[in-house]
Amino acid sequence: MVDRLANSEANSKRIGLVESCFGAAGQPLAIPGRVLIGEGVLTKLCRKKPKARQFFLFNDILVYGNIVIQKKKYNKQHIIPLEGVTIDTVPDDGELRNGWLIKTPTKSFAVYAATATEKSEWMNHIGKCVRELLQKSGKSPTGEHAAVWVPDSEATVCMRCKKVKFTPVSRRHHCRKCGYVVCGPCSEKKFLLPSQSSKPVRVCEHCYRMLSGSLGRQSESMSRSGANFNNTLSDDDDDDDSSD
């Protein structure tokens, strides 16, 4: 079915419409063999609060962005290669229902559908696309994934020291290794996590010790250069691209 659609005029038009909705700031999406499987609005659990995002599932990538005008204009385009994706269901929790995790080596997060049927359809289609990609490439599923960040609202005190209370002055930070919400003193170190960034990223003291111990003195000296943040400066990367 996917192979038949790949070269169809209807598929080309649908992909062209998605490109036009993202405008010049978006990446080109039309390449030979790419098929738009489906699209829809999902609620993404962002750092500050759950937010509606427009998602597009292709046979090789997952694309999402902020909704400016529904079905007409989107911005802040994100493209996730499906080869590196693993999905896991999330138990219902209060108003957050019909959710699952989208886990990749670079970034992992939870999304929620409007109904259980919609959730099932999304998970089935994503899973099928991932399996077919891995079968064609002969690769194995990705073993390591970025941590899912704990939302700010779930932590009133540092999740490591359990002492520092968060205030407008004592800001929340996220460890890029474990995803915990931590205070400045508990996250003064940086460590190179190549799957997430080409530069050392913020990690909590616990993960820093674990990573340094497992990789030895070389990694410790490399990450030491990024230690001791000035916590009065804006930590923009904590804001998940300033929108999530």
Instruction: Determine, yes or no, domain membership for 234.
Output: no
Domain count for the chain: 2
pLDDT at residue 236 in the model = 35
Say whether both 171 and 211 belong to one domain: yes
Encode pLDDT of 20-61 as tens digits: 999 999 999 999 999 999 999 999 999 889 999 999 999 999
pLDDT at residue 5 in the model = 67
Range of the domain at 7: 1-137
Q: What's the pLDDT band for 4 if we cut at 50, 70, 90? A: low
Say whether both 163 and 110 belong to one domain: no
Rounded Cα distance between 55 and 129, Å, is 15
Instruction: Determine, yes or no, domain membership for 188.
Output: yes
| Tokens linked to 240 | 């998940």
Q: What is the mean pLDDT of residues 77-87?
A: 96
What residues are paired with 144 via a beta bridge? none
List C-alpha distances in Å: 60 to 87, 136, 215. 15, 11, 33
Instruction: Determine, yes or no, domain membership for 25.
Output: yes
Q: What is the CATH number of the domain that holds 188?
A: 3.30.40.10
Contact of 91 with 41, CB cutoff 8 Å? no
Say whether both 85 and 160 belong to one domain: no
Say whether both 48 and 23 belong to one domain: yes
pLDDT at residue 7 in the model = 65
Q: What is the CATH number of the domain that holds 62?
A: 2.30.29.30
Say whether both 132 and 177 belong to one domain: no
Instruction: Determine, yes or no, domain membership for 230.
Output: no
Say whether both 84 and 168 belong to one domain: no
Say whether both 133 and 156 belong to one domain: no
Say whether both 14 and 127 belong to one domain: yes
Say whether both 95 and 198 belong to one domain: no
Say whether both 111 and 158 belong to one domain: no
Range of weakest confidence among 31-35, 88-92, 210-214: 210-214
Say whether both 34 and 63 belong to one domain: yes
CA 60 from centre of chain: 17
Say whether both 57 and 172 belong to one domain: no
Rounded Cα distance between 149 and 153, Å, is 11
Q: By 3-state DSSP, what share of the chain in percent is helix, strand and coil, each rounded to 5? A: 30, 25, 40
